[in-house]
């Protein structure tokens, strides 16, 4: 009977070892998934911000003038609040 209890304890130790290794792998994978999810959220927010800064042809009025006999096209933004949302260019 003592041998059986000892065998059961050994088997339990093996099971515990395997479970701990498996749990560690699961935890690592969950952590990596969590990191990926956070990066996706970050880039979704970045994309949304960039979309708000994007201007289209329809955002401008086109004016044509002639200077010294040459045609000069001028584009003026219709809604000045759109211009104010644009970021400054970083000088490097």
> Which tens digits make up the pLDDT trace of 73-89?
888 888 888 777 777 77
Q: How many domains does the chain have?
A: 2
The structure's pTM equals 0.46
Asked whether residue 29 falls in the same domain as residue 15, the answer is yes
> Which tens digits make up the pLDDT trace of 42-64?
998 888 888 877 888 888 888 88
Asked whether residue 45 falls in the same domain as residue 75, the answer is no
Asked, for residue 91, whether it belongs to a domain, the answer is no
> Domain range for residue 80?
55-86
Confidence of residue 92 (pLDDT cuts 50, 70, 90): low
Asked whether residue 50 falls in the same domain as residue 62, the answer is no
Residue pair 43/37 in contact (Cβ under 8 Å)? The answer is: no
| Nearest in space to 64 (alpha carbons), one of 73, 54, 52 | 73
Which pLDDT score is estimated for 1?
Answer: 47
Confidence of residue 2 (pLDDT cuts 50, 70, 90): low
């Amino acid at each position: 009977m003592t041998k059986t209890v000892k065998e059961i304890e050994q088997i339990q130790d093996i099971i515990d070892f395997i479970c701990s290794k498996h749990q560690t792998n699961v935890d690592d994978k969950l952590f990596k998934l969590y990191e990926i999810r956070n990066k996706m959220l970050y880039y979704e927010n970045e994309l949304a911000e960039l979309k708000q800064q994007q201007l289209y042809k329809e955002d401008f009025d086109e004016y044509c003038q002639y200077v010294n006999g040459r045609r000069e096209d001028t584009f003026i933004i219709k809604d000045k609040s759109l211009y104010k949302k644009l970021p400054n260019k970083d000088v490097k």
